[in-house]
Amino acid sequence: QVQLVQSGAEVKKPGASVKISCVASGFTFSKYYMHWVRQAPGQGLEWMGIINPSGDTTTYSQKFQGRVTMTRDTSTSTVYMELSSLRSEDTAVYYCTKSREGACDYWGQGTLVTVSS
Amino acid sequence: DIQMTQTPSTLSASVGDRVTITCRASQSIITWLAWFQQRPGKAPNLLIYRASTLESGVPSRFSGSGSETEFTLTISSLQPDDFATYYCQQYRSYPETFGQGTKVEIK
């Protein structure tokens, strides 16, 4: 069965960076686009960006351009999202999701990132 | 960016009720629309994609319709498990965008 297992919760200071991992299993990782979506406490869902199957093309929301980097490692079926210059507004649960024909069909369990001084 | 507007933001209903949630796009997205259910503390769960295709394993009481700019999610007979928050998402163009969510509460 498809599983996306994300790394654990992080606490970061303002200005720091965070890198979250998402290990995929149960499908041919090298064939699927992967997205990252975040959700601030008590708020809605926010799309951050997408990485193509080979990992050589990414598209980021303009909101995060310059601060976000998405990468993937086919040898370990892992996708990564790094967000830099963290501020308190980046406190959120971050999700990796698998894309099937554009729709996010499977989601990781989420990783809580808390930004606090 | 394409704006997605969901209505209502909160909906109070009883078990057995027929429930409809609307999602409007600020420009045509053809049928590149998905619906998700999210329970508190959990990741979203895909219900519908391509506006009207039921995801495998999702109960048939859920249905989706619409095209271009207006879409609906209908739950034909609300069950206790269905009290949750629902989101629409367009994937016609980047950045992909979500509606603000509709919380379905027990009346």
Q: Do B87 and A109 touch (CB under 8 A)?
A: no
For testing contact with chain A, the best of B6, B96, B97, B100 (most A CBs within 10 A): B96
Nearest CA in chain B to A63: B95
Q: Do A107 and B44 touch (CB under 8 A)?
A: yes
Residues 6+ apart with CB under 8 A from A28: none
Q: Do A103 and B45 touch (CB under 8 A)?
A: no
Cβ atoms of A36 and A49 closer than 8 Å: yes
For B68-95, write each residue's pLDDT tens digit: 999 999 999 999 999 999 999 999 999 9
Cβ atoms of B3 and B95 closer than 8 Å: no
Nearest CA in chain A to B56: A105
Cβ atoms of B67 and B79 closer than 8 Å: no
Q: Provide, as residue numbers in chain A, all residues whose Cβ is less than 8 Å from the Cβ of B91.
A: 102-103
Number of H helices, E strands in chain B: 0, 11
Confidence of residue B107 (pLDDT cuts 50, 70, 90): confident
For B15-48, write each residue's pLDDT tens digit: 999 999 999 999 999 999 999 999 999 999 999 9
Find the radius of gyration of the CA atoms of chain A: 13
